[in-house]
Amino acid sequence: MPLGEFELIQRYFAQVSEASSDASVALGVGDDCALLNLPEGQQLAVSIDTLVEGTHFLPDIQPEQLADRLMGSTVSDLAAMGARPAWLTLALTLPQTDADWLKRFSSQLGIRCQEYSIALIGGDTTRGPLALSAQVHGFVPQGKGLCRHGAKPGDIICVSGNLGDSRGGLEGLLNGFANETHAEYLLKRFYSPVPRIGLGQSLVGSASSCVDISDGLLSDLAHILKASGNLGARLQIEALPISSQLVDTYGEQQAQQWALTGGEDFELCFTLPPEHLALIPSLPTSVAVIGKVTEESELSLFLRGEACEIAGSGYDHFHQS
Ligand code: ADP
Ligand code: MG
């Protein structure tokens, strides 16, 4: 007999909620609303993301991979704001109640909730084509959220981790890997993005702007530059952090192109006033300095000192915006 909505929530999500809740949750899953305590002096950072089968993921995705992707991409928005994760609501649209799928999805969701210290506090469950919406809520000290609009000419442009890996993983999924040596690494980078939660919070009070890289470095950096008053930037391509696995699999040029334009790495791109440069070695994630913010509103790329152009949607997008 198929599970009813109530049993489904009880069986698979109430437990995740209980295990992940802390004192900030006065009332979690089970009532008409959750009741929540916002700590004094903190602002609430809120963001929602939706994943739809066929648009954001392929039908053969594993439930664990889906939970990872959903959690990584949504919690990344909190990281980009410098917020500490607090609460999660989950809207699930399911074609059927598949007990095995629900068990695997909800346990992986629980694992990520623990890891990111975020409490599942409610949601909605309906029937229909597979789609998932996650709304995340986080705490950020009053007035200290890392916005897109604070960059100034002369600020240093930084990015965390490695860029382009996720695009490399997607390429392998869609067209097969030319060589399988690093397939596992690249697929993991695609399916399980790591939200840079600690880094985001470490940048509060120092970074002048921040964004997480969901559409590609050039495109997301363009958001910062535009929001900061139509500023520009000079980027050093050889300074881009790129994994040896990506270069080994696709070659240096392709890797650089994807580092600039490939989306869904969920690394942070932020600007630092030069006086805060000394902070970099103490940050919890490796960070590369890749360029500088300029007064004139152009984004220029340099490869070993020579000006260059790189074709690709991210760059085109910048010109259209
Ligand atoms: P209502 O009809 O009042 O909106 P629901 O029957 O949709 O309530 O949900 C009952 C309770 O279960 C609510 O507290 C809701 O937040 C929670 N809930 C529903 N679906 C989920 C889910 N997928 N994950 C977590 N909590 C859920
Ligand atoms: Mg409902």
Question: For the segment 38-52, what is each residue's pLDDT rounded down to a tens digit?
Answer: 999 999 999 999 999
CA 159-163-165 angle, 5° bins: 155
Are both 297 and 240 inside the same structural domain?
yes
- Asked if residue 313 is part of any domain, the answer here is no
Contact 152, 232 (CB under 8 A): no
Give yes or no for residue 109 CB within 6 A of ligand 1. Answer: no
Distance (angstroms) between ligand 1 centre and the Cα of 120 equals 11
- Residues 183 and 292 both lie in one domain: yes
Residue 238, domain member (yes or no): yes
Same domain for 162 and 299? yes
- 297 & 196 share domain: yes
Evaluate: CB of 33 within 6 angstroms of ligand 1: no
Overall pTM surpassing 0.85 (yes/no): yes
Same domain, 257 and 113: no
Split the chain (321 residues) into runs of 10 and give each run's mean pLDDT: 79 94 94 96 97 94 97 98 98 95 97 98 96 98 97 98 98 93 98 98 98 97 98 97 98 96 96 97 98 96 90 42 34
Model confidence over 9-22: pLDDT tens digits? Answer: 998 999 999 999 99
Residue bearing tokens 């995740």: 16
For position 155, what pLDDT does the model report? 98
The answer to whether residue 264 sits within a structural domain is: yes
Pair (31, 99) in one structural domain: yes
- Written as one string, the DSSP assignment of 182-243 is THHHHHHHHHS----HHHHHHHTTT-SEEEE-SS-HHHHHHHHHHHTTS-EEEEEGGGS---
Closest to 254 measured CA to CA, from 189, 150, 165, 173: 165
Cβ of residue 293 lying under 6 Å from some atom of ligand 1: no
- Asked whether 275 lines ligand 1 (CB < 6 A), one says no
Our mutation pick for probing the ligand 1 site, out of 125, 132, 136, counting the most ligand atoms within 8 A of Cβ, is: 125
Distance CA 271, CA 7 (A): 48
Asked whether residue 160 falls in the same domain as residue 304, the answer is yes
Range of the domain at 101: 5-141
> Cβ(251) to ligand 1 under 6 A?
no
* Of 27, 29, 108, 136, best ligand 1 pocket probe by most atoms within 8 Å of the beta carbon: 29
Ligand 1, atom 10, lies closest to the CA of 30
Q: Which atom in ligand 1 lies closest to the alpha carbon of residue 31?
A: 14
Residue 111 counted as domain residue: yes
